[in-house]
Amino acid sequence: MRLATADDMRAYGARLAALLRPGDLLVLSGPLGAGKTTLVQGIAEGLKVRGPITSPTFVIARVHPSLRQGPPLVHADAYRLGGDLEVDDLDLDASLDESVTVVEWGEGLVEGLADDRLEIHIDREAGDEARIVTVRGVGSRWADTPSDPLQD
């Protein structure tokens, strides 16, 4: 799907949050500046977790507790990680069952954390602010997920 602005990306994330539950893993990919963190800001808004939501590149992972008895959001960034051993050191699997876990740059590194996950790829459209978002559901949890899980 095509999202024209950063506000559209945040709004999409907020709507997507309504589908998420504890134990969900989202793996985000796309080039630098594509809008991965902007999407997570929307997800955080929809989940009603404590912010602010910023890129976790230098701290690797942040836990954002719920403000309304919902699941916490674990927001991780695998950009600086060198491989599976460093991903294991994050212990993302320790909180996976009770959290919504979103990993930026996780493609090829974190898929082993869960049999079920949403893989979301974001690309920039040449010449403007628009982004192209591709969603792929993996596993039985997302078996019937269309390319846009928010479509009716």
Question: pTM higher than 0.85 for the full model?
Answer: yes
pLDDT, residue 14, reads: 96
pLDDT at 146: 65
Q: Which two tokens stand for residue 44?
A: 């955080």
Please report the sign of the dihedral spanned by the C-alpha atoms of residue 102, residue 107, residue 110, residue 112: positive
**The pLDDT of residue 111:** 86
Q: Give the per-residue pLDDT at 152.
A: 47
- CA 105 to CA 102: how far, in whole Å? 10
**Quick one: pLDDT at residue 147?**
64
| pLDDT value for 85 | 44
Task: Let me know: does 129 contact 103? Beta carbons within 8 Å.
Answer: no
Phi, psi angle pair for 24, to nearest 5°: -75, 140
Residues of the chain with pLDDT under 70: 56-59, 80-94, 146-148, 150-152
pLDDT of residue 66: 94
pLDDT at 113: 85
Task: Give tens-digit pLDDT for 71-112.
Answer: 999 998 877 665 554 555 566 666 778 999 999 988 888 888
